[in-house]
Amino acid sequence: MSSASERVNLLGLSPQQLRKWFAEIGEKPFRATQVLKWVHQRQVDDFDQMTDLAKSLREKLKQIAIVKAPEVVLDKTSKDGTRKFVIDIGAGGLVEMVYIPEPDRATLCISSQVGCPLTCTFCSTGRQGFNRNLTTAEIIGQLWLAERLIEHKFPPNRSVTNIVFMGMGEPLLNYDAVVAVTVCPGAG
């Protein structure tokens, strides 16, 4: 089996990219739709649980692909229900994500960079300096984690109704990855 870093992280692929990827590995593109439902509607990251895929395909996917979200290292809920997460995106990089529930909606505030190169004087992130841009998989992985960890209160079976890029980083400085996120099914 390839190492985790060599396998394709399917969280970072749009539906179109995933269909193309399935075609490239010799599989029917409709398999992408099945996998997308497991990953983004049910937050499943284990190919063995994707029971409408043939066992041979599941074994093949385990060799070359992965569904890997960043890791939550802090999950703290305040009195008003706001839930703050600190997420480890690897190599010591930490980013913040905040879930803000209201009766009729729930907003997820996500990060686009580790640190930030702008130095807004009122902002603690600005004082940390800049480490790197997040990848599309790391950005969509934040939403994936929220949907996996927080009760689904909103139709159609969602925890989050609104997403804002107001965590760490200036999203326009990571334009390509942020735009790619908007066409990922989890953010749709």
Instruction: Rule CB under 6 A: choose which of 109, 169, 174, 187 binds ligand SF4.
Output: 169
* Beta strands in 22-139, from DSSP E residues, in sequence order: 65-66, 71-77, 83-90, 93-101, 106-109, 113-115, 130-133
* 108, 166 Cβ separation under 8 angstroms: no
Identify which of residues 81 and 117 has a Cβ nearer to ligand SF4 in the complex. 117
What is the closest distance, in whole angstroms, from the C-beta atom of residue 177 to ligand SF4 in the complex?
A: 16
Instruction: Rule CB under 6 A: choose which of 25, 54, 120, 179 binds ligand SF4.
Output: 120
**How wide is the angle at C-alpha 115 spanned by C-alphas 114 and 117, nearest 5°?**
120
Pick the piece of the chain touching ligand SF4 (CB under 6 A) from 61-69, 83-91, 123-131, 144-152. 123-131
Pick the piece of the chain touching ligand SF4 (CB under 6 A) from 17-25, 27-35, 63-71, 168-176. 168-176
Buried b / exposed e over 68-87, threshold 16 CB at 10 Å, is: bbbebeeeeeeeeeebebeb
What is the closest distance, in whole angstroms, from the C-beta atom of residue 123 to ligand SF4 in the complex?
A: 3
Cα separations in angstroms, 131 against 8, 11, 60, 126, 179: 23, 22, 35, 11, 20
* Beta strands in the chain, from DSSP E residues, in sequence order: 8-9, 65-66, 71-77, 83-90, 93-101, 106-109, 113-115, 130-133, 162-164
126 lies in the binding site for ligand SF4 (CB under 6 A): yes
Give the count of residues interacting with ligand SF4 (CB under 6 A). Answer: 9
Instruction: Rule CB under 6 A: choose which of 89, 134, 170, 180 binds ligand SF4.
Output: 170
Identify which of residues 25 and 120 has a Cβ nearer to ligand SF4 in the complex. 120
- Name which of residues 59 to 118 contact ligand SF4 (CB under 6 A): 116, 118
Identify which of residues 13 and 87 has a Cβ nearer to ligand SF4 in the complex. 87
Binding residues for ligand SF4 (CB under 6 A): 116, 118, 120, 123, 125-126, 168-170
